[in-house]
Amino acid sequence: MAEAEKTYIFHIHRKDGSSLFLHPLFPPARVVEALEKGPLEGRYGLEPRVEALTGFRDELYRQVEQGVRHWINDLRFIPKFLIAAGAFVAAYVFFSAVVRDPLPVIDEVVLGVAAAVITFALLGRRDLASRRAAKKRLDLRLVVDRIAFRESAFVKNVEGALHSAEGESVEQVVRRIVAPVEQGRESSLPASGAETGLAEAAQFVRLLEQRFNFRKLQREERTFRRLSGKREAGRLLSVRKVDFPLYSVYKSFKRTVSGRR
């Protein structure tokens, strides 16, 4: 039986000492699937602080809560919808027969819709407090608790490239980003464990694209190139609120991953 593909979580230590965690547990619709898919392992270069890991675990617990909410709502949508529709019909018939008003139908429809919405919401709250949801929540929290972080040569390469870019001016980083493919800097993967390094790199690139929408930024590189040639390039580029050092690392490893496929 083939071994399940590992899913990675990355801790990136930035030059200013802050931590960046990249993980696949979003949006809420994908949390349950991601945690149940297979082995989930953490990777770091410089060892993260205990408080950073504790804060990250709490963040994953919040993601689990949102994921379970989405999962149970999706699972129970049809039964809730049918019961809410029954509440609408019952309220409509009741108020049509009991309440006489000068505007027939309108009041009954409004009251029926209100009854349906309230019923749907109450059923949703009941489902979230159900034993089924509680068991799913507990199972996923246990998966989070079992996540172990290990040192990774690949993440060390990422941090080295990122710290180097963070030490440069905005103009220098942007010039590296917009360099033609044949001139662009391609990041190397560790010589040992090349296959693992490539798998980590591919997931790292994918997580950056999901988290920061870096694919969309590729369309703006022509604008970056034009701005980088102006006298006040640093100020003009800074106001765009783009993490250029991180994007430059993404570009270099994207080239590496694309070149190995």
- In this predicted model, what pLDDT tens digit does every residue of 113-150 receive, in sequence order? 999 999 999 999 999 999 999 999 999 999 999 999 99
Single pTM value for the model: 0.82
- Tell me the three state secondary structure of residue 11: strand
> In degrees rounded to 5, what are phi and psi of residue 151?
-65, 140
Q: Is 24 part of any domain?
A: no
219 contacts: CB under 8 Å, gap ≥ 6: none
- Across 71-85, 116-130, 133-147, 222-236, least confident range: 222-236
Can you tell me which residue has the tokens 């989405």? 70
Q: Tell me, yes or no, whether 170 and 189 share the same domain.
A: yes
Per DSSP, the residues of 112-136 read HHHHHHHHHHHHHHHHHTSHHHHHH
What gap in Å lies between CA 10 and CA 208, rounded to an integer?
A: 11
Choose one of 144, 164, 179: the last residue of a domain. Answer: 144
Q: Is 51 part of any domain?
A: no
Residue 247 has pLDDT above 80, yes or no: yes
Structural domain total, the chain: 2
Q: Tell me, yes or no, whether 98 and 161 share the same domain.
A: no
Q: Tell me, yes or no, whether 124 and 201 share the same domain.
A: no
pLDDT tens for each residue of 34-59: 999 878 999 999 999 999 999 999 99
Q: Tell me, yes or no, whether 118 and 169 share the same domain.
A: no
Q: Is 221 part of any domain?
A: yes
Per DSSP, the residues of 72-107 read HHHHTHHHHHHHHHHHHHHHHHHHHHH---SSTTHH
Give the long-range contacts of residues 82-85, CB within 8 A, separation 24 or more: 83/119, 83/120, 83/123, 84/116, 84/117, 84/119, 84/120, 84/123, 85/116
pLDDT grade for 66, boundaries at 50, 70 and 90: very high
Q: What distances in angstroms separate CA 195 from CA 17, 163, 202, 259, one per listed residue? A: 30, 25, 11, 14
Q: Tell me, yes or no, whether 126 and 173 share the same domain.
A: no
Q: Tell me, yes or no, whether 182 and 261 share the same domain.
A: yes
Choose one of 120, 144, 168: the last residue of a domain. Answer: 144
What gap in Å lies between CA 124 and CA 128, rounded to an integer?
A: 6
More confident residue, 81 or 38: 81
> In degrees rounded to 5, what are phi and psi of residue 43?
-130, 140
Q: Tell me, yes or no, whether 111 and 214 share the same domain.
A: no
Domain of 202?
153-261
What's the CA dihedral at 47, 52, 53, 58 to 10 degrees? -170
Residue 252 has pLDDT above 80, yes or no: yes
R_g of the chain, CA atoms, integer Å: 26
Q: Tell me, yes or no, whether 135 and 162 share the same domain.
A: no
Choose one of 91, 112, 144: the last residue of a domain. Answer: 144
**pLDDT at position 184, please?**
47
pLDDT grade for 234, boundaries at 50, 70 and 90: low
DSSP letter for 232, please. Answer: T
**pLDDT at position 226, please?**
67
Q: Tell me, yes or no, whether 136 and 159 share the same domain.
A: no
Q: Is 257 part of any domain?
A: yes
Q: Tell me, yes or no, whether 135 and 167 share the same domain.
A: no
Residue 2 has pLDDT above 50, yes or no: no
Q: Tell me, yes or no, whether 157 and 254 share the same domain.
A: yes
pLDDT tens for each residue of 182-205: 444 555 565 555 677 888 999 999
- End-to-end CA distance of the chain: give it in Å, rounded: 25
pLDDT grade for 75, boundaries at 50, 70 and 90: very high
**pLDDT at position 251, please?**
87
